[in-house]
């Protein structure tokens, strides 16, 4: 079989081909299994909370199935216990906010629609045997059409979409099934109480067992996005764009520079997290009525800065490179602008993460602005007269101009983070506490600050997402 030449493949009979297929099957299956296992491992390692969440859902579902197994409970609820199982499957979401939102929506909508359905049932009953089904059909039609239309309102869709769905469902079920079932009140009562049991077990488990807070996720996402932009701006290959001699060797870690790309499309993620966060009670460092809206403002400004960085990235990677003579002239100002903007963004991210007033970001932004002014003066000077070929100047000047844009964007981000700090009453730190940190940052201007600034915070962030906030943060909150 193994010595069949490629040319004879075409002439191979059907049975031979089937044989080959089966012969190759174990290999292909093994490869597929290994690939799936690797994917699963990666998925779990990327966010271990996924594993905990899966276990939590299994736990809640097994708990609620007790209604069937345990005789006294079953005697009380009977087949209605089904609603509890259903509620758990449908309501249990990844974050506490989403679970709470869905649970409350479901319970309130069931209560309201149940009451209205009962009313509709009684009203229709007055119209006799012929009028009743017609009137009920009409009620169901009007209610379903109206509620479906209301679901299109953007504000309602964001917060009460699921509630309206359950409203339509319950109203139809109660008003229509009432036509047959005389024990309609008991049905409504049982449905509501089992839903409340199912919903509250979801909420309790999601809050008590390794809680995943949407608010915390949003908080970290906003800080992470700023850090991603800082990573780009402080990256050696961006800094060394102006040092043409080293241009070649920085090609290997381009992938690191792609980190900011995810910021470009973070809008929908941020918005849904903010919606969920509004349902959450106060937890960790976040009080009730935490200014979640301000996070969206910061997110929008961060995205605008990311658009500029995307344009900048296009220029840095383009084939047309700036002339060495020009580069050397604007190098210092450009490097300072990029580095200081990056440092400012990192300080802001640090401030958001640790919920401290990011007062140390201000000096960086002023330095960046001074560098921008210097650059403008430099360009204004007659230094350029000797260089008649403007085409050679363009790449460098465009990059410089984009960097000026980025400095402006960074300033806007800083303003909105400061507004958040005052809205959320961020703790103001004593600047005398950690003078060595800022010295380190200033002493090595060409080195990216990723490993220098806030290393303890980076560790906190990686772990805090599936654990309770670590000691220092909690005590800081208590001190406030």
Smallest gap, in angstroms, from Cβ of residue 342 to its own copies? 19
Q: Determine how many CB atoms are found less than 10 A away from the CB of residue 91.
A: 27
Smallest gap, in angstroms, from Cβ of residue 196 to its own copies? 19
Q: Enter the tokens of residue 158.
A: 């964001």
Smallest gap, in angstroms, from Cβ of residue 179 to its own copies? 6
Please identify, using beta-carbon distances, which residue of 12 and 138 lies nearer to its own copies. 138
Please identify, using beta-carbon distances, which residue of 27 and 380 lies nearer to its own copies. 380
Listed residue (390, 256, 382) closest to 323, CA to CA: 390
Smallest gap, in angstroms, from Cβ of residue 68 to its own copies? 5
> By three-state DSSP, how is residue 291 classified?
coil
> By three-state DSSP, how is residue 468 classified?
coil
Q: Which residues contact 361 (CB under 8 A, 6 or more apart)?
A: 344, 347, 348, 351, 414, 417
Please identify, using beta-carbon distances, which residue of 207 and 440 lies nearer to its own copies. 207
Smallest gap, in angstroms, from Cβ of residue 181 to its own copies? 8
Smallest gap, in angstroms, from Cβ of residue 464 to its own copies? 20
Please identify, using beta-carbon distances, which residue of 300 and 359 lies nearer to its own copies. 300
For residues 179 and 97, the answer to whether their CB atoms sit within 8 Å is no
Please identify, using beta-carbon distances, which residue of 67 and 279 lies nearer to its own copies. 67
- Locate tokens 């910061």: which residue? 298
For residues 323 and 430, the answer to whether their CB atoms sit within 8 Å is no
Please identify, using beta-carbon distances, which residue of 177 and 193 lies nearer to its own copies. 177
Smallest gap, in angstroms, from Cβ of residue 463 to its own copies? 20
CA 272 – CA 98 distance, rounded (Å): 9
Spell out a b/e string for 188-221, using b for 16 or more CB atoms within 10 Å of the CB, else e.
bebbbebbbbbbebbbebbbeebbbbbbbbbbbb
DSSP bridge pairs for 356 = 427
Please identify, using beta-carbon distances, which residue of 46 and 248 lies nearer to its own copies. 46
Listed residue (91, 101, 79, 88) closest to 58, CA to CA: 88
């Amino acid at each position: 079989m193994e010595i069949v030449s490629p040319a004879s493949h075409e002439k191979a009979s059907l049975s031979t081909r089937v044989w080959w297929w089966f012969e190759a099957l174990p290999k292909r299956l093994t490869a597929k299994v290994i690939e799936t296992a690797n994917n699963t491992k990666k998925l779990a390692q990327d966010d271990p909370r996924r594993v905990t969440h899966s276990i939590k859902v299994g736990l809640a579902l097994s708990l609620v199935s007790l209604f069937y197994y345990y005789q006294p409970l079953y005697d009380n609820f009977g087949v209605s216990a089904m609603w509890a199982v259903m509620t758990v499957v449908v309501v249990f979401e990844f974050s506490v906010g989403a679970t709470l939102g869905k649970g409350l929506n479901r319970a309130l909508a069931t209560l309201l629609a149940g009451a209205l359905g009962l009313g509709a049932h009684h009203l229709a009953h007055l119209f006799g045997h012929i009028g009743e089904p017609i009137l009920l059909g009409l009620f169901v039609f009007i209610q379903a059409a109206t509620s479906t239309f209301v679901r299109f309102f953007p504000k309602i869709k964001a917060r009460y979409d699921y509630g309206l769905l359950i409203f339509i469902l319950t109203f139809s079920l109660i008003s229509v099934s009432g036509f047959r079932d005389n024990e309609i009140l008991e049905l409504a009562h049982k449905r509501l109480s089992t839903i409340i049991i199912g919903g509250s077990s979801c909420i309790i488990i999601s809050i008590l067992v390794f809680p995943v807070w949407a608010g915390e996720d949003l908080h970290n996402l906003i800080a992470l996005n700023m850090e991603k932009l800082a990573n780009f701006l402080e990256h050696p290959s961006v800094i060394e764009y102006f040092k043409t001699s080293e241009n070649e060797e920085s090609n290997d870690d381009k992938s690191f520079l792609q980190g900011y790309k995810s910021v470009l499309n973070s809008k929908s993620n941020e918005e849904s997290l903010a919606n969920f966060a509004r349902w959450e009670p106060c937890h960790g460092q976040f009080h009730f009525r935490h200014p979640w809206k301000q996070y969206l403002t910061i997110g929008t400004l961060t995205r605008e800065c990311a658009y500029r960085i995307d344009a900048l990235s296009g220029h840095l990677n383009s084939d047309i490179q700036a002339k060495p003579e020009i580069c050397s002239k604007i190098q210092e100002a450009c490097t300072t602008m990029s580095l200081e903007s990056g440092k400012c963004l990192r300080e802001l991210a640090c401030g958001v993460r640790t919920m401290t007033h990011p007062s140390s970001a201000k000096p960086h932004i002023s330095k960046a602005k001074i560098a921008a002014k210097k650059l403008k003066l430099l360009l204004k000077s007659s230094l350029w007269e000797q260089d008649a070929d403007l085409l050679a100047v363009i790449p460098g000047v465009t990059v410089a101009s984009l960097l000026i844009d980025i400095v402006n964007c960074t300033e806007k981000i800083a303003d909105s983070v400061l507004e958040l700090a005052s809205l959320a009453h961020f703790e103001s730190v004593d600047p005398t506490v950690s003078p060595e940190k800022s010295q380190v940052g200033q002493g090595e201007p060409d080195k990216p600050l990723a490993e220098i600034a806030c290393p303890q915070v980076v560790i906190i962030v990686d772990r805090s997402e599936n654990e309770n906030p670590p000691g220092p943060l909690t005590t800081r909150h208590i001190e406030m």
